[in-house]
Structure 1
Amino acid sequence: MNMSGVVLFTLSGYSVTVNYRILLFSFSLLCYCLILVVNVSLILTIILDHNLHEPMYVFLCNLCFNGLYGAAGFYPKFVFDLLSDVQVISYTACLLQVFVIYSYATGDFSILALMAYDRYVAICRPLEYHSVMSVRRTAALIAFTWVVPLMCQCMVVTLTSTLKLCGSRIDKLYCENWSIVKLACGSTRTNSIVGLIVIAFYCAHVLLIVCSYVQLVQSSLKSKEGRRKFTQTCVPHLLCLFNVTAALLFDTMYSRYGSAAIPQNLRNFMALHFLVMPPILNPIIYGLILTKIRNRMATLCMMAGQRLRLRLKA
């Protein structure tokens, strides 16, 4: 129990879903299954193929793990609430959901920034690539992409947990930090400042990616091989980056400055975008565009089909 005595939050975003909950439940369950299938398939493909044990594919594997982590923090509770008459969540579970969902979102930025750095070294400094992206440095960078987002969100959630609350109604389909902060009785200045610092920190990630791509474009234009590498490995990265940035920026700006006059259905759609689209599209984009992964997955599917036919004949 926190200082205000609030032990349960009501998620009021479900109020407009009464007439089509079964449809939403089916669609959400399908999305979750699709997220599991595409991400696990890509992870297993990279793990099982030694030719894919390179930094770029290891970072991609990390991106898929992060997608599964974020989906686990949202979908089980969401599909359960769609079939429930009352949509409530405990105070502790709400803070845990905030921690998981937003450490996933910020983790995506860290991983995409790391992938941009990897492409910069590969295209702009190809002779130094294996020395710069050594096994030890790759492991350290992956650890960084997990530790920093987790620490940031731990700090944010800890600050939120100290607030005295005067309400228990969250106008969303899931727990979101700023929605809890807005329920506070007293000053939330510290929470606002820390939140803006975290946002600025991850905006710096985007700036870093933009700077690396300026260098990448300049370098790739110098040779045919550079252009081929850029098209094959950087285009999917840019698509994933745009997808995640647009979705998260939309959610963050609306949470802080959005108008209550916006219809609840539209608010729900905006809030769900970064939880639904990136975990599905990221592995599909990379799986379709990266030749090594596409060929390997096609080979595995053919082998699985042959084994199935042999078993059916037997």
Structure 2
Amino acid sequence: MADISTSASSRAWPPVGGSSDSSLSDASKSPSDAAIDISSSPRPVSECLDEDADGNQTYFYFMLFERLGHMRYALFSLGFVLYCVILFLNTLIILAVCLERTMHQPMYILILCLSINSVYGTAAFFPRVLTDLLSNTNIISYEACFLQSFVIFSYTANEFAILMLMAFDRFVAISKPLQYHNIITSKSLIVLIVINWMYPFICLGIGSLLTARLQMCDNKLWKVYCHNYEIVKLSCVNSVLLNLWGFFVLFINAVIPFIFIFYSYVKILFVCHRSSSKFKSKAYQTCLYVTIIKSIDNINKSLPFILYC
């Protein structure tokens, strides 16, 4: 009877669907070996693309392109034509000012700076957006996103700085016409242009470096281009210090130039009001010309953001 039970138990020992050798090898594994097997399971491809070895985000996704559908082709055509027009007009202005010696004057040089800045800013916006409109994978690398954000914001800051210099030039020309050539010299103009282009780069460069050090918790941007504030909102840490720096940069690069521009043209109006009709007509003609140039320039630069944002 004992022999029968022993043989039965020996036949029942191997588990169903497996051999005794495999069962023994599985049983002999330590808990640490089992943990290694679990952790070594393959990760999804999207996670491997989105994070580096330290777990930091390496890509951002532009989510708005997914909702465009077939409308993206119409937007691409419109954007391509607009970009070509902006390049053509600004190239004409650059060539005219550079080749025509009679236009080597402060006001025309500042208009030349506006055109160069326009080419600089739109080069960071249009090629990327037009490419994304025709692409099915609307992703941008971490480094390229920060570069695009820096170029677009520095372009905007440079715009305010140039407009402020143009307002100062017209203010001196109308309020102090006899001293104009002593105040606005070629050397002083170059120094002012360099200073007004350098401090936005420094301020925005510091902000970009602070943003680049943040740990990101998400990588979905609800814009069609990289926006520094939108990137900060994706971070995992408290960004109060960075927000304060952003308000400081905004005040320095936008609010102060706007106040100076407004003050300059108000003073010009008072000077014209107290002057003779002949002087008044010349002053208004000069200011009207500058206003038209600024309006065309601002329309060309605001249309892309109105269309795509």
TM-score bracket, normalised by the shorter chain, equals 0.7 to 0.9
CA contact (8 A) 1:165 1:184 kept: yes
Offset at residue 5 of structure 1 (A): 1.0
Tell me the SS of whatever aligns to 1:10.
Answer: strand
Tell me the SS of whatever aligns to 1:89.
Answer: strand
CA–CA distance in 2 between the matches of 1:246 and 1:46? 21
Partner of 2:20: none
Partner of 2:198: 147
Tell me the SS of whatever aligns to 1:18.
Answer: coil
Partner of 1:272: 305
CA–CA distance in 2 between the matches of 1:246 and 1:32? 13
Partner of 2:279: 226
Offset at residue 31 of structure 1 (A): 0.7
What does 1:287-302 align with in structure 2 at a 5 Å threshold? none
Tell me the SS of whatever aligns to 1:151.
Answer: helix
Greater shift, 121-130 or 237-246, is seen at: 237-246
Partner of 2:261: 209
Which deviations, in whole Å up to 9, do the C-alpha atoms of 1:180-207 show, x marking residues without a partner? Answer: 0000111001110011001111201111
Residue 118 of structure 2 aligns with an amino acid whose one-letter code is G
CA contact (8 A) 2:224 2:308 kept: no
CA–CA distance in 2 between the matches of 1:207 and 1:246? 21
Greater shift, 228-237 or 196-205, is seen at: 228-237
What does 1:148-163 align with in structure 2 at a 5 Å threshold? 148-163=199-214
Offset at residue 240 of structure 1 (A): 6.3
Counterparts in 2 of 1:245 and 1:185: CA distance versus 1, 3 Å: farther
Unmatched tracts of structure 1, length 5 or more? 252-268, 277-314
Counterparts in 2 of 1:239 and 1:151: CA distance versus 1, 3 Å: farther
With normalisation by structure 1, the TM-score equals 0.76
Offset at residue 86 of structure 1 (A): 1.2
Unmatched tracts of structure 2, length 5 or more? 1-51
Greater shift, 195-204 or 176-185, is seen at: 195-204
The alignment of Structure 1 onto Structure 2 pairs a total of residues equal to 256
What does 1:91-110 align with in structure 2 at a 5 Å threshold? 91-110=142-161
Offset at residue 235 of structure 1 (A): 3.0
CA–CA distance in 2 between the matches of 1:168 and 1:209? 39
Which deviations, in whole Å up to 9, do the C-alpha atoms of 1:229-268 show, x marking residues without a partner? Answer: 33333235446667888999xx9xxxxxxxxxxxxxxxxx
CA–CA distance in 2 between the matches of 1:99 and 1:81? 19
Match of 1:89 among 140, 147, 160: 140
% identical equivalent positions: 33
Partner of 1:137: 188
Residue 232 of structure 1 aligns with an amino acid whose one-letter code is Q
CA contact (8 A) 1:3 1:163 kept: no
CA–CA distance in 2 between the matches of 1:70 and 1:275? 15
CA–CA distance in 1 between the matches of 2:247 and 2:263? 22
CA contact (8 A) 1:4 1:166 kept: no
CA–CA distance in 2 between the matches of 1:166 and 1:127? 61
Is 1:23–2:74 an aligned residue pair? yes
Offset at residue 61 of structure 1 (A): 0.3
